[in-house]
Chains A and B, each alone.
Chain A
Amino acid sequence: MTSYLPPSERIWWKVPVGKQEVIWIGIALIWCLIMFFMMPYWHLFGKQNLSNEAYQTTPAKFQARVDEMVAQYQVGEEAGIPIVRPPAGSDVYLLGRLWQWYPILELEKDQSYRIHLSSMDWQHGFSLQPVNINLQIVPGYEMVVTMTPDQAGDYAIVCNEYCGIGHHAMLGKIYVKEN
């Protein structure tokens, strides 16, 4: 009756609010604050956080970094893509381009690596499976994430940002070895 008629009280903002609504608003507000503070809490005590480290770059500059690393640490090749084994704790460069992640990485379990990610062309999505870590890869930007693989195994990088007709075939690999 009244939701689509003018309020029955001219001064509707002075009508007292019922007990039930006050209680609910109180509970909901507390929950909202808990959810809000969970995020800073996790920055302090949680283990999965993104750094804010990122740089502007160009495809050419980033490609040069990748090539340098490949030249230095290549240990093999698979399907025409070099396999690279960078030292633990080092800076690792991984690029996405139509339609490939380059190169293949071989990492050691429980070691940390500073992984630099960028795109040579369009946007791509770094989706590490089956762990399920997902990052947006944007051309012109170099994102740095320190990753610490805590389980040995073969991992795939699925591209999960649409990047044209070959998008579904854009797979990469990360091998994590026991040390």
Chain B
Amino acid sequence: MAQFRVCPDSGFYFDKSAESLMKVNAIAGAVSLLIAGILAIGVILTRWQEVHLLPADLFYQALTGHGINALIFWIIFFEIAILYFASSTLLRTRLAAPKWAWLGFILMVVGAVMNNVAVAQGNSSVMMTSYAPMQAEPHFYLGLILFAVGALIGVFVFFGTLVIAKDDQTYEGSVPLVTFGAITAAIIAVFTIASGAVILVPTFLWSIGYINHIDAEMYRIIWWGLGHSSQQINVAAHVSVWYLLAGILFGARPMSEKVSRTAFLLYILFLQLACAHHILVDPGISSEWKVFNTSYAMYLAVLASMIHGLTVPGAMEVAQREKGLTKGLFEWLRKAPWGNPVFSGFFFSLVIFGFIGGITGVVMGTEQINLIIHNTIYVPAHFHATVAVGTTLAFMALTYLLIPVLFRRSLFLPWVAKMQPYVFSAGMTIMILFMLGAGTLGVSRRHWDMDFTGAALSFEYPGTAYMMMAVGGIGGVLGILGGAMYLLVTVGSLVFGKKLEPSAGLFQSFGVPLSSGSYNIQQPERLPMAPKLAVEQHGSAGFEAPGTFVLAMALLVSFVVYYFINWDYLASVWPLS
């Protein structure tokens, strides 16, 4: 029974059932992003103090829904689609156990809906972290548990697919780097979901009265075992997407397979650590453990990210130089396809993740520096640079690529798509930078009112803090506009985009397979190894990618300067011991 089709434009092969599953998972992700985006309007316009849109209860409710839909549902649905792509499509193999994959998907949808219903009913405004002993309704936790079980099934389908590819020898040599990165993400996901089960199952039992006490500190430690490592899944996933996009856009090859793969391996080895950076100022946790854990044993996972930071743009630079863009340090970058949202989205994701997300993350994860940052609005500013730009924008860029290839539609309103990464990155960057500033002035996160209306005592933040929250608010609104543009283009393409295949109708956009005649390939040809490298050398003085090296040094210098500025700031606060 023939079950594969080949995309005539890209040469990718799609297994019929994997194709449908990728579509539905990506769409469920986009719906979650839509909900998160709508709620973001309420959140940002309330934090912009002069507007102060929502009353307190709705604000906390919106913030809970925003965090969960954005960070958990959007990203994980999309990641499942990526796992199926990185296994079935990239390795030209059929998907293992499609029925199980559908079951996983359905559980995820049921879980996401259940959790959203709980939050919408209003008695579960406990934030995505749901710290005990504050309690949500039982179906809040149950929804998250079902979602996690569904995701776990998806991860196992991915592993099964790798096994099939290996047994059927659908590829020569080793798996491609992108698949290797996806494997990293999947392994971390298994750990993460295990921690999630350890904490959420008892919490659920407690919410229905089966267990009568949950230790609040224990909850924090284990919850962050889940919360932290899940961020490492995102990093592994979006770094893989970066390599994929660099490969597709430029024909880039990794500068060194060994280096890039070792860097992924470092993520696996050191990710169980680092839950500590969320509990650096908690009671009863020893400094030795904090120092070791927060630094992932001497920052070896940070080292890994710094390596990818060089090798991803480096691979692109080498490929561009091979095409003759060799003038000066940066011709390869200047002449990149800036009007293609796949490229601009990829590149902004890389730069903002590295320069803002990476640096602020390491700084605030430093044991003592955390004292001046913990729970201020600096924290959400940091993770909007990592997940809301780094991960989200990488996935957006990938979507623009997948619409023609996977959905067989051409982009709807291509000029909107072209502007989207610019609008989204500009808005988010403004929001992030100003919220970082406000956090440094002590403005707290998850806080409805910086005027403290109704408090018995009083305190006034400096005027600059208000100004920063206002400018951040404007940036946030622009960011939401950028998000809306993304959804307009994607939904528009699925509904109105020009069909690139006669049978790519409306239902097909939402997961129904194309006409059976499209799947006319029994088993694709074996995936060949990449062609051997031509020996020609570009660049100068033995440096293959000198421009990238300069960028990397700029990153390092900013990092060092900013790091020590924060120590200096710390040194100015009250002595503590």
**Are A and B part of the same complex?**
yes
A8 contact from B282, B295, B530, Cβ within 8 A: B530
Given A125-B444, A158-B444: A6 and B174 interface contact (C-beta under 8 Å)? yes
Given A28-B306, A135-B374, A160-B445: A15 and B256 interface contact (C-beta under 8 Å)? yes
B458-510 residues with Cβ-Cβ distance < 8 A to A are 458-459, 461-462
B178 touches A156 (CB 8 A): no
B311 contact from A21, A48, A49, Cβ within 8 A: A21
Q: Min CB distance, B368 to chain A, in Å?
A: 5
Q: Min CB distance, A5 to chain B, in Å?
A: 4
Smallest Cβ-Cβ distance to A123: which chain B residue: B131
Q: Give Cα A40–Cα B220 distance, bound, in whole angstroms.
A: 24
A141 contact from B217, B257, B307, Cβ within 8 A: B217
B455 contact from A25, A165, A171, Cβ within 8 A: A171
A46 contact from B251, B368, B446, B456, Cβ within 8 A: B368
Residues on the A chain within 8 Å of B253, using CB = 1-3, 8
A130 contact from B171, B257, B442, B533, Cβ within 8 A: B442
Q: Min CB distance, A60 to chain B, in Å?
A: 15
Residues on the A chain within 8 Å of B457, using CB = 78-79, 81, 104, 156, 171-173
B530 contact from A1, A36, A127, Cβ within 8 A: A1
B103 at the interface (CB under 8 A from A): no
B576 touches A50 (CB 8 A): yes
A18-51 residues with Cβ-Cβ distance < 8 A to B are 18-21, 23-25, 27-29, 31-33, 35-36, 38-40, 42-43, 46-51
Residue from B134, B256, B440, B452 having most chain A Cβ neighbours under 10 A? B256
Given A36-B298, A36-B299: A160 and B376 interface contact (C-beta under 8 Å)? yes
B283 contact from A100, A143, A146, Cβ within 8 A: A143
A123 touches B376 (CB 8 A): no
Given A122-B133, A138-B217: A6 and B444 interface contact (C-beta under 8 Å)? no
Q: Min CB distance, B87 to chain A, in Å?
A: 12
A106 at the interface (CB under 8 A from B): no
Residues on the A chain within 8 Å of B251, using CB = 1
Given A18-B256, A43-B287: A1 and B559 interface contact (C-beta under 8 Å)? no
A127 contact from B215, B246, B310, B376, Cβ within 8 A: B376
Residues on the A chain within 8 Å of B131, using CB = 122-123, 161
Smallest Cβ-Cβ distance to A99: which chain B residue: B455
Q: Give Cα A17–Cα B220 distance, bound, in whole angstroms.
A: 42
B446 touches A162 (CB 8 A): yes
B521-576 residues with Cβ-Cβ distance < 8 A to A are 527-533, 542-546, 549, 552, 556, 559-560, 563, 567, 570-571, 573-576
B171 contact from A6, A8, A140, Cβ within 8 A: A6
A97 at the interface (CB under 8 A from B): no
A8 touches B531 (CB 8 A): yes
Given A25-B303, A31-B560, A167-B448: A135 and B281 interface contact (C-beta under 8 Å)? yes
Residues on the A chain within 8 Å of B370, using CB = 134
B334-369 residues with Cβ-Cβ distance < 8 A to A are 362, 366-368
Given A78-B457, A173-B457: A133 and B576 interface contact (C-beta under 8 Å)? yes
A123 touches B530 (CB 8 A): no
B259 at the interface (CB under 8 A from A): yes
Kindly supply a per-residue 1/0 record for chain B positions 192-218, scoring 1 wherever the CB is within 8 Å of any chain A CB and 0 otherwise.
000000000000000000000001110
Residues on the B chain within 8 Å of A122, using CB = 131, 133-134
A61 at the interface (CB under 8 A from B): no
A13 touches B258 (CB 8 A): yes
Given A5-B530, A141-B284: A49 and B577 interface contact (C-beta under 8 Å)? yes
A7 touches B216 (CB 8 A): no
B456 touches A146 (CB 8 A): no
A169 at the interface (CB under 8 A from B): yes
A10 touches B173 (CB 8 A): yes
Q: Give Cα A29–Cα B282 distance, bound, in whole angstroms.
A: 29
Residues on the B chain within 8 Å of A80, using CB = 456
B453 touches A169 (CB 8 A): yes
Q: Min CB distance, B559 to chain A, in Å?
A: 7
Q: Give Cα A117–Cα B259 distance, bound, in whole angstroms.
A: 47
B376 touches A140 (CB 8 A): no
Q: Min CB distance, B444 to chain A, in Å?
A: 3
B172 at the interface (CB under 8 A from A): yes
Residues on the A chain within 8 Å of B371, using CB = 48, 50, 133-135
A5 touches B527 (CB 8 A): yes
A105 at the interface (CB under 8 A from B): no
B577 touches A141 (CB 8 A): no
Given A123-B131, A168-B453: A7 and B462 interface contact (C-beta under 8 Å)? no
Q: Min CB distance, A126 to chain B, in Å?
A: 9
Q: Would you list 28 pairs from A and B whose C-beta atoms are within 8 A, ordered by A residue? A: A1-B247, A1-B531, A2-B530, A3-B178, A4-B243, A4-B244, A6-B176, A6-B527, A24-B549, A29-B303, A31-B556, A33-B299, A35-B295, A38-B567, A39-B291, A48-B575, A50-B371, A54-B285, A56-B284, A125-B374, A130-B441, A134-B375, A141-B282, A148-B576, A158-B442, A160-B445, A168-B453, A173-B457
Could you tell me which A residues sit within 8 Å of B by CB distance? 1-10, 12-13, 15, 17-21, 23-25, 27-29, 31-33, 35-36, 38-40, 42-43, 46-52, 54-56, 78-81, 100, 104, 117, 121-123, 125, 127-143, 145-151, 156, 158-173
Given contacts A7-B529, A27-B556, A132-B372, 15 further A-B contacts (CB under 8 A): A1-B531, A4-B248, A7-B530, A12-B258, A21-B307, A25-B259, A32-B298, A39-B291, A46-B571, A50-B368, A158-B459, A160-B447, A162-B447, A168-B455, A169-B449
Across the A-B interface, give the 7 residue pairs with the lowest CB-CB distance, nearest first: A2-B530, A156-B459, A160-B444, A3-B247, A143-B283, A54-B284, A32-B299
